[in-house]
Amino acid sequence: MLDATLRALASLRSRDAQPLSQGLSLENASACLHQAIRPLNETSLRSALTIAEPLPSSIGIVVPYGVFTTPIEWVALALAGGASVHLKAPERDPAMVRAMVDAFSSEGLPVGFSTSRSLPPVDAIVAFGDDETVQAIREDNQQIPLSGYGHRFSVAFSAGDPGQAARSLALDVARYDSRGCMAPTAVFTTGDPHALCEQLATEMATCEARWPRGSVDPALGPEWRRRVGLARVTGRVWTGAKWAVTCSPAEYFSPTTLPRMIEVHPIENVHSFELFFHPWQRWLSTCGTDLPGHQPAGFHRVCALGWMQSPPFPRNHDGRPMLSGLHGPTGGADA
């Protein structure tokens, strides 16, 4: 199964990524697809399988819309471990899931998909989505072990050189057009926020030239204008044709991202940063930081700036080894 999985991944990596990317530009889609598949090799898959414990015979995976590469590592790990996989594809755009099924099934691996909410009989479920979606799946499948991954968000912390921080942060924002739980919703800084914003404006323009922003849901327009308008009143704004950098007090923090917008909030010190996010601990995912030794409490993953959208493999996802615990009690892990 492992050799067939690796051949399928090589085939998938050679595909034109843009039609699979749920609206990203060609340049960004290609970079994201290569980035997602690059860590998956014989050594890393064997290591992840050792950590994951014996897998159930069949696994259903509910795939979210937004970050088009999300299912790749999960499906590759399950198939390499000998499980059969059924994917519930996002009805809004199942192209990536269809391409994956084509690549893996062409190597004789047991994988299929549908866009139907009802899953076929499986031994365990891995579900991604907002908290309400994961809870609904849990209620519909009460007799099946389920590992659910609901709403999470990530933030960055910068205390170092603004130029270096900006180069890294702009990459974290550009990847996937700021979609997904590992994209920085904002950066909190103990340094000069305006100096950081000036550098970010330069780097955001550079990223736009190299990896242009893709299509944007028109429904996001009012919220984009609201945040820019609020920052103009409470702080400062730097904008390009398809990106924005805002600076405003931390009280205006929002735990959701907008495509190619980065919001900068000054914070007094590291302790203030950790206190600020204490009420949000249930929803925290990744903290990107440039402060050596910084391990803020409550975040499931801490990494260097520039690596927020490039998680290692194998790893814990929301504090749990990938595909672990699927032989556990009915109901599985909490979302």
Residue 53, pLDDT score: 77
Angle formed by the axes of helices 2-13 and 95-105, to 10°? 140
- pLDDT by residue (tens digit) across 46-69? 999 999 878 999 999 999 999 999
Please tell me the total number of residues recorded for the chain in this structure.
Answer: 335
Domain boundaries, the chain: 2-151, 153-304
Classified as helix, coil or strand, 266 is strand
Which residue from 154, 170, 166, 174 is spatially nearest to 192, judged by alpha carbons? 166
Which whole-number Å values give the CA distances from 156 to 69, 106, 165, 327, in the listed order? Answer: 22, 41, 10, 35
Cβ-contact 38, 32 below 8 angstroms: no
Which residue from 302, 264, 275, 277 is spatially nearest to 188, judged by alpha carbons? 264
Residue 227 has pLDDT above 60, yes or no: yes
Superfamily of domain 2-151: Aldehyde Dehydrogenase; Chain A, domain 1 (3.40.605.10)
What residues contact 102, with CB distance under 8 A and at least 6 apart?
none
Cβ-contact 83, 146 below 8 angstroms: no
More confident residue, 117 or 262: 262
Which residue from 298, 245, 303 is spatially nearest to 276, judged by alpha carbons? 298
Residue 125 phi, psi dihedral angles, 5° rounding? -130, 140
Tell whether omega for the bond before 314 is within 30 degrees of 0, i.e. cis: yes
Residue 335 has pLDDT above 50, yes or no: no
CATH number for the region 153-304 comes to 3.40.309.10
- pLDDT by residue (tens digit) across 157-200? 999 999 999 999 999 999 999 999 999 999 999 999 999 999 99
Work out whether strand 146-149 and strand 124-128 pair parallel, antiparallel, or are unpaired. parallel
Residue 328 has pLDDT above 60, yes or no: no
Least confident of 20-24, 98-102, 243-247, 311-315: 311-315
Question: What whole-number distance in Å separates Cα of residue 176 and Cα of residue 22?
Answer: 10
Q: Tokens 């080894």 map to which residue?
A: 321
The stretch 268-284 carries a mean pLDDT of: 95
